[in-house]
Structure 1
Amino acid sequence: MAPIRQSNIDRRRVRDECRDKLSKHIQSRLGIQIKPSEVRLIPNAADPYAWKVLSEKAELFSKNISDHSIGAYRELCEGVGVTFEAVSSITHSADAPDSLVSLRYAGTSFSAKIDQLKEENARLLQELHEWRDKATAESERRELAEGQVRQLHGTHQQLQEQVRGYAVTADNLRSSVSMCFQGLDKVLPVLEELRTGVSMGVNEV
């Protein structure tokens, strides 16, 4: 008789642990006692339980327990109450394939989780819209401020041009006044001489 391989021993041990965990889960969830050896991933019509499974783990429930690998057994053990749960077969929809109960059918735990995730998603979406509106308003305010700065810069340049023009005009006026004073400096002595000469002529007469 050939010796039993260690891998087969390990597989059988993990399979039995998986059956035991599934049995305890069914009893905990539904109050129904099912022997570990009688637990099925694909329950028949007479079984009082069915499985409600997240879509990404549905493949695990497409085979009988005995047909699975040791990795699948570990996935099942880790997913109990997390990615799947036992539900009463009464809530099992006739439209659902085999024994799988989709998330679109009745249930509490997963449905509550999905509703919670939907609410959280809606809240985050609303918050995203609010932040986007704030960002848009801030961007518009920034553009308006930048426009005002550009306008002020243009006005400042115009004023500088005017100041330079006034400075040139003032320089021209100063030159004109200086020339006038220079002309007066030349004319006044002549006028003084004429006034003196006229005064002397009047005195002689």
Structure 2
Amino acid sequence: MVLSSNEKRAFFRQQCREALAAHIHDRVGLVVAPSQVRLQPSAGDGYAWSVTESKKSLLQSNLGSGSVGLYRSICEELGRSLEAVTPQTLQVAQSERGHLPEKETRPTGSDEKESGSFTAKIREMECANREISSELDRTRMHLEDSLRKKNELHAETLRLQDELGGVSSRVSHLEDELVRVTGGIDKAMRVLQVYQTQDGSAPEHGDRQDESVDSMDGTMLETPPVSIRVDAS
């Protein structure tokens, strides 16, 4: 049997409504008649639609005036990029994307059925991303502080190296001066030793000369006269 265009559209619309109603019951726990399912529900309906940025166009039409292509796309994306959540969950997700303080975005209760949804996972990833961002900020501040201290230590090291260079130069000069003074002292000691040796040996030499003279004088006095005879012939 070949369906007319209107019949075909009505057929796929009914399939889409039934799929949406079953999904709402599975994710949120509400029983909604397929004929009462809406793509733009109010807060009093007890459910809302969470959709990824790239698939927002799926919610911009009404189910009653949609096309076959719309119905097919909704059924294909249901549970993947489009899912039913509580209005509170959707508000929390939107608030977190707006980077509101955590105490203002924390939900009043938890929905066990949403724990495996992509909306919940997105929220977890966004929360983890904010924590990582905060940790990176703290790490960057720590690194900047460490870099500042490193630069200060480097400057202090250079200053101490300059001072050490000056001290080393003075030490080298003092060592040279010490060598020079030590050499002068050694030379003076050698000169002093020479004078002491000369002063100590001079009297002994004089005494020996006097003794020699006295001995010679005595010998001359004790030697008998020698007679000299002249032969007249």
Partner of 1:78: 76
1:129 is aligned, of 130, 134, 138, to 134
TM-score, normalised relative to structure 1: 0.53
Residue 60 of structure 1 aligns to a residue whose secondary structure is: coil
- The residue correspondences of 1:86-125 to structure 2 (distance < 5 A) are 117-118=122-123, 120-125=125-130
1:21 equivalenced with 2:15 (yes/no): yes
Q: Which moved more, 1:164-173 or 1:17-26?
A: 17-26
Q: Distance in 1 between matches of 2:142 and 2:34?
A: 62
- The residue correspondences of 1:178-197 to structure 2 (distance < 5 A) are 178-197=183-202
Partner of 2:95: none
Q: Is the 8 A contact 1:22 1:39 kept in 2?
A: no
Change (3 A) 1:198 1:69: farther
Q: Is the 8 A contact 1:18 1:73 kept in 2?
A: yes
Q: Is the 8 A contact 1:27 1:33 kept in 2?
A: yes
Partner of 1:61: 62
Residue 62 of structure 2 aligns to a residue whose secondary structure is: helix
Partner of 2:173: 168
Q: Distance in 2 between matches of 1:41 and 1:131?
A: 40
Task: Tell me the amino acid that sits aligned with residue 163 of structure 1.
Answer: S
Q: Is the 8 A contact 1:52 1:85 kept in 2?
A: yes
| Greater relative contact order (CA < 8 Å, ≥ 6 in sequence) | 1
- Aligned CA RMSD, in angstroms, stands at 4.6
Aligned length: 167
Q: Distance in 1 between matches of 2:188 and 2:46?
A: 121
Change (3 A) 1:85 1:19: farther
Partner of 1:143: 148
Task: Tell me the amino acid that sits aligned with residue 196 of structure 1.
Answer: S
Change (3 A) 1:86 1:19: farther
